[in-house]
C-alpha cells in the first residue's frame, strides 16, 4: 500500500502568505483522509494536488483554526454531485457545533453526511488500517490521531520451501495462507508478522504522555511546535509545545522521523528546525504542499519530498 502525508496547511492560528491553516491529507492506498480542515483548506488543495473526494475528515479540536474550512468543503462536494457518504469525526462537542453553527450555513446535502463524536482511544476501521483517537493536553478537549496499519504477513522463504520438497506454484500460496502442505507447516517457511506502519498527528498540545505512548516506534510523528524554548512559559499557558519539547517526545518514543508543524510567525522555520535537531536530528519542518513518503521499511525510510509549487499570497 502506498502511504504518504500531504501538508496542505502548516501555520498556527493565523494564515500567512506562504502557510495555510492546519490541514493534512493522508493518502493510504486508495483512501484519502483529511486531518483537520482549517480555513481555506479546499483552496490549498485545489491549487496543489486537486481536491479529492475525501473518505473521512478527522478534527482534532474545536478551535476555529482547525475546522473553519469544513463549510466550504462540504458544500463544494455537494455542488460536485457527490453521492458517496462522508464521515466527519471529532471530539465531544462536534455534533453541537454542526447542528448550531454549520448546518444553518451549509443547508441540506444530497449525499450522506454523518457527524461522529469519538471517545478517547476509539478506533475507526478502514481497509488495512485504523485511525485511533487519543487525548492530548490543550485548553479545551482535544485529540491526536494515530494511523495504525495492519501487520503484514512475514516473508516467505522460497529456498527453504523448495528444500523441504514444496513445488513452486499453488502450494506456495497455500502455505502463505496458513495451510499445511505435505507435512510442511507455514511456521517452517513463513517468518513472523511484520509490524504495520504508524503515523501520529498530535494536533495542538502541551507535552503529554499519551503522545509518547501512541508514537512508540512510529514511522512518523507530526508534532506541533508553536513556540521555542525561550517562550516555554507562554507555551505552557496556551496549551502548546516548543520545538525542543516535541523533539524530546520524538526521542523518547523512538520514532523514525519528526515533522514539526503549526508554526508561529514569531520565528523563522530554520530556528524551529535548529532547536529540535539539537535534540532529535531526524527532524523536518515541511512547507505547505510538501509531502512525506512512507515506504515499507524494507524499501527505505520515511522522507520529506519538497514541492516545486509556491503557495500563493492570500
Does residue 227 fall inside a structural domain?
yes
HEC sequence for 101-126: HHHHHHCCCCCCEEEEECCCCCEEEE
Given pLDDT bands bounded at 50, 70 and 90, which one contains residue 310?
A: low
Active site residues: 65
Does residue 168 fall inside a structural domain?
no
Does residue 158 fall inside a structural domain?
no
Closest CA to 171 of 163, 161, 144: 161
- pLDDT at res. 242: 98
Does residue 182 fall inside a structural domain?
no
Burial code (b: 16+ CB inside 10 Å, e: under 16) for 269-296 equals: beebbebbbebbebbbbbbbbbbbbbee
- pLDDT at res. 269: 97
Given pLDDT bands bounded at 50, 70 and 90, which one contains residue 230?
A: very high
Calpha distance 283→304 (Å, rounded): 10
Q: What digits encode the pLDDT tens for the residues 80-139?
A: 999 999 999 999 999 999 999 999 999 999 999 999 999 999 999 999 999 999 999 999
* Angle, vertex CA 29, rays to CA 25 and CA 35, nearest 5: 20
Calpha distance 233→242 (Å, rounded): 10
Task: Output the average pLDDT for the chain.
Answer: 94
Given pLDDT bands bounded at 50, 70 and 90, which one contains residue 155?
A: confident
pTM strictly above 0.85:
yes
Contact 255, 294 (CB under 8 A): no
**Start-to-end CA span in the chain (Å):** 35
Calpha distance 86→115 (Å, rounded): 9
Question: Which residues line the annotated binding site for Zn(2+)?
Answer: 61, 63, 65-66, 138, 204, 262
Calpha distance 61→203 (Å, rounded): 8
Does residue 105 fall inside a structural domain?
yes
CATH of the domain at 281: 3.60.15.10
- pLDDT at res. 57: 98
Its domain, for residue 144, covers: 3-152+194-305
Question: Which residues line the annotated binding site?
Answer: 61, 63, 65-66, 138, 204, 262
Calpha distance 15→314 (Å, rounded): 8
Q: What digits encode the pLDDT tens for the residues 50-70?
A: 999 999 999 999 999 999 999
HEC sequence for the chain: CCEEEEEEECECCCCCCCCCCCEEEEEECCEEEEECCCCCHHHHHHCCCCCCCCCEEECCCCCHHHCCCHHHHHHHHHHCCCCCCEEEEECCCHHHHHHHHHHHHHCCCCCCEEEEECCCCCEEEECCEEEEEEECECCCCCEEEEEEECCECCCECHHHHHHCCCCCCHHHHHHHCCCCECCECHHHHECCCECCCEEEECCCCECCHHHHHHCCCCCEEEEECCECHHHHHHHHHHCCCEHHHHHHHHHHHCCCEEEEECECCCCCHHHHHHHHHCCCCCEECCCCCCEEECCCHHHCCCEEECCCCCCCCC
Calpha distance 58→36 (Å, rounded): 6
Closest CA to 173 of 189, 159, 152, 149: 189
| Furthest-apart CA atoms within the chain: distance in Å | 69
Percentage of the chain exceeding pLDDT 70: 98
Given pLDDT bands bounded at 50, 70 and 90, which one contains residue 313?
A: very low
pLDDT(314) > 70: no
- pLDDT at res. 311: 59
Q: What digits encode the pLDDT tens for the residues 161-188?
A: 888 888 888 888 888 888 898 888 888 8
**Mean local confidence (pLDDT), 203-230:** 98
Q: What digits encode the pLDDT tens for the residues 188-215?
A: 888 878 899 999 999 999 999 999 999 9
> Which set of grid coordinates corresponds to residue 50?
486537486
What's the domain count of the chain? Answer: 1
Q: How far is CA 233 from the centre of its chain?
A: 28
Amino acid at each position: 500500500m502506498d502511504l504518504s502525508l500531504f501538508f496542505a496547511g502548516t501555520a498556527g492560528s493565523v494564515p500567512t502568505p506562504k502557510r495555510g491553516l492546519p490541514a493534512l491529507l493522508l493518502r493510504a492506498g486508495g483512501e484519502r483522509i483529511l486531518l483537520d480542515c482549517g480555513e481555506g483548506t479546499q483552496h490549498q488543495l485545489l491549487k496543489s494536488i486537486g481536491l479529492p473526494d475525501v473518505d473521512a475528515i478527522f478534527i482534532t479540536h474545536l478551535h476555529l483554526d482547525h475546522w473553519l474550512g469544513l463549510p466550504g468543503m462540504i458544500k463544494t462536494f455537494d455542488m460536485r454531485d457527490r453521492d458517496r457518504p462522508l464521515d466527519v469525526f471529532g471530539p465531544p462537542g462536534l455534533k453541537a457545533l454542526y447542528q448550531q453553527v454549520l448546518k444553518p450555513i451549509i443547508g441540506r446535502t444530497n449525499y450522506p453526511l454523518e457527524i461522529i463524536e469519538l471517545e478517547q482511544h476509539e478506533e475507526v476501521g478502514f481497509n488495512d488500517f485504523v485511525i485511533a483517537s487519543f487525548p492530548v493536553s490543550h485548553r479545551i478537549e482535544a485529540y491526536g490521531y494515530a494511523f495504525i496499519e495492519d501487520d503484514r504477513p512475514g516473508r516467505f522463504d522460497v529456498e527453504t520451501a523448495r528444500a523441504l520438497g514444496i513445488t513452486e506454484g499453488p502450494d506456495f500460496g497455500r502455505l502463505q495462507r496458513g495451510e499445511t502442505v505435505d507435512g510442511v507447516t507455514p511456521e517452517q517457511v513463513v517468518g513472523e508478522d511484520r509490524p504495520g506502519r504508524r503515523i501520529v498527528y498530535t494536533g495542538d498540545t502541551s507535552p503529554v504522555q499519551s503522545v509518547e505512548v501512541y508514537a512508540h516506534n512510529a514511522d512518523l510523528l507530526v508534532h506541533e511546535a508553536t513556540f521555542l524554548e525561550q517562550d516555554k512559559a507562554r507555551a505552557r499557558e496556551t496549551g502548546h509545545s516548543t520545538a525542543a519539547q516535541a523533539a524530546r517526545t520524538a526521542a523518547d518514543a523512538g520514532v523514525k522521523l519528526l515533522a514539526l508543524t503549526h508554526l508561529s510567525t514569531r520565528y523563522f522555520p530554520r530556528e524551529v528546525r535548529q532547536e529540535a535537531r539539537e535534540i532529535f536530528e531526524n527532524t523536518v519542518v515541511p512547507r505547505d504542499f510538501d509531502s512525506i513518503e512512507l515506504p515499507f521499511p524494507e524499501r527505505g525510510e520515511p522522507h520529506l519530498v519538497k514541492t516545486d509549487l509556491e503557495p500563493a499570497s492570500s
